[in-house]
Amino acid sequence: SKLFQSVELAPRDPILGLTEQYNSDTRSHKVNLGVGVYYDDDGRVPLLRCVHKAEVDRVQAQLAHSYLPIEGIAKLNRGARELVLGKDSEAIKSERCVTVQSIGGTGALKIGADYLRALLPDAKVAISKPSWENHRALFEKAGFEVVEYPYYDPETHGLNLDGMLDFLKSLPAKSIVVLHACCHNPTGVDPTPEQWTEIAKVVQDKELIPFMDIAYQGFGDGLQADAAAVRLFVEKGLNCLISTSFSKSFSLYGERIGALTLVTDSAEEAARVLSQVKRVIRTNYSNPPTFGGAIVAEALNTPELFAMWEEELGEMRQRIKEMRSQLVNKLAENGVNMNFDFVMAQKGMFSYSGLTAAQVDKLREEHAIYAISSGRICVAALNSKNIDTVAKAIASVIK
């Protein structure tokens, strides 16, 4: 029937395309700073001790592989909700939050997007400029018009707060605003607590719907501090959606674990919302997978495992900070006179390094160092073995 005859080739994912190019590079000193993954000092994706312990316990328990409920594991959902809102959250106590397990943070965004599209079919979705490369496509595929609010200011390497607030003020009521709750991807630039207060005020005054994406909780200033922006919005009494990813924080990327939390006005409203969100899940993939979710559920709910996790997250966070400071110092040692202190102020795994597309090309061609053409580098891919080579190479392309 020639069904597929006129199908066009879709464009390659730019980041995954870069990794393919990196993999086929035969130079032994190559470094991939284009990734979105935390590597340890040996350049490996870590298996966290808390995860390993929970895995061994689970295997030993010899559990059968039945289905989960549509909304996933109750213990995971409770743990995810308490992690982001705080155990003492009034919204949790009054049972007006709904949480469902999701297929990673991406799945939480997608379930949330599909649900919002049914609720607010004509809403615009505003994402930051720039944003995680999948935000636009994901909300467009859900049927929304996607616009960008000013965010990053290349002049200051910081936040364009006035531009952002002016844009948000111009949006129609009930527009959806996607906010990176901490550790902004790709820039590493986060609003200060004072700036978050101003953003929340505009969101509230203009009756916008905040969709808080939290994919790096624990990588900025710690588990509690990184949730402050989300808690601010919830404490203001706003209805909001929160997508949590556990991919990075538990180093469980391929297990695909996340959660979507919706904050409603009452327990009765929450029950109705849950019934609708379950319908979205049921018609997409029926119910989530068990193993990874069970591991995270144990880690979040067992004090011994939770303490182990917090320590390991702290180690990851400290290592990234150490790499930031070494990079800045080593650039100076290599004769770069441009001030790179902004790299130290950035949060999370990424840095908008200020490198131009031409400099990124030169890094790849002449030094086998791979970065995104926007200048985004993954600081968590630096380590004590490659940092000297990388600093020297960056210095040589910008001098």
What is the set of active-site residues?
Answer: 132, 213, 248
Residue 106 sits in the site that holds ligand PLP (CB under 6 A): yes
Q: Return the number of the residue (86 or 107) whose C-beta is nearest ligand PLP.
A: 107
* Minimum CB distance to ligand PLP, residue 40 (Å): 18
Contact letters (x/-) for ligand PLP, 35-64, by CB under 6 A? -x----------------------------
Q: Return the number of the residue (183 or 270) whose C-beta is nearest ligand PLP.
A: 183
* Residue of this chain nearest to ligand PLP (CB atom): 104
For residue 79, give both structure tokens: 């743990």
List the one residue from 112, 220, 258, 375 that touches ligand PLP (CB under 6 A). Answer: 258
Options 16-24, 68-76, 103-111, 220-228: segment touching ligand PLP (CB under 6 A): 103-111
Options 22-30, 40-48, 99-107, 312-320: segment touching ligand PLP (CB under 6 A): 99-107
* Minimum CB distance to ligand PLP, residue 275 (Å): 25
Residue 247 sits in the site that holds ligand PLP (CB under 6 A): yes
What would the 3-class secondary structure string for the chain be?
CCCCCCCCCCCCCHHHHHHHHHHCCCCCCCEECCCCCCCCCCCCCCCCHHHHHHHHHHHHCCCCCCCCCCCCCHHHHHHHHHHHHCCCCHHHHCCCEEEEEEEHHHHHHHHHHHHHHHHCCCCEEEEEECCCHHHHHHHHHCCCEEEEEECEECCCCEECHHHHHHHHHHCCCCCEEEEECCCCCCCCCCCCHHHHHHHHHHHHHCCCEEEEEECCCCCCCCCCHHHHHHHHHHHCCCCEEEEEECCCCCCCHHHCEEEEEEECCCHHHHHHHHHHHHHHHHHHCCCCCCHHHHHHHHHHHCHHHHHHHHHHHHHHHHHHHHHHHHHHHHHHHCCCCCCCCHHHHCCCCEEECCCCHHHHHHHHHHHCEECCCCCEEEHHHCCCCCHHHHHHHHHHHHC
* Minimum CB distance to ligand PLP, residue 2 (Å): 36
* Minimum CB distance to ligand PLP, residue 132 (Å): 4
Q: Which residue has the tokens 């609010």?
A: 149
* Minimum CB distance to ligand PLP, residue 3 (Å): 31
Residue 32 sits in the site that holds ligand PLP (CB under 6 A): no
Contact letters (x/-) for ligand PLP, 171-200, by CB under 6 A? ---------x----x---------------
* Minimum CB distance to ligand PLP, residue 104 (Å): 3
Question: How big is the site for ligand PLP, counted in residues (CB under 6 A)?
Answer: 12
What are the phi and psi torsion angles at 378 (to 5°)?
-95, 110
Q: How far apart are CA 188 and CA 201, in angstroms?
A: 23
Q: How far apart are CA 281 and CA 288, in angstroms?
A: 9
Options 104-112, 304-312, 353-361, 386-394: segment touching ligand PLP (CB under 6 A): 104-112
Site for ligand PLP in 115-134 (CB under 6 A): 132
* Minimum CB distance to ligand PLP, residue 397 (Å): 26
Contact letters (x/-) for ligand PLP, 206-245, by CB under 6 A? -------x-x-----------------------------x
Q: Return the number of the residue (136 or 180) whose C-beta is nearest ligand PLP.
A: 180
For residue 18, give both structure tokens: 């870069």
Residues lying near ligand PLP in the complex (CB under 6 A): 36, 104-106, 132, 180, 185, 213, 215, 245, 247, 258
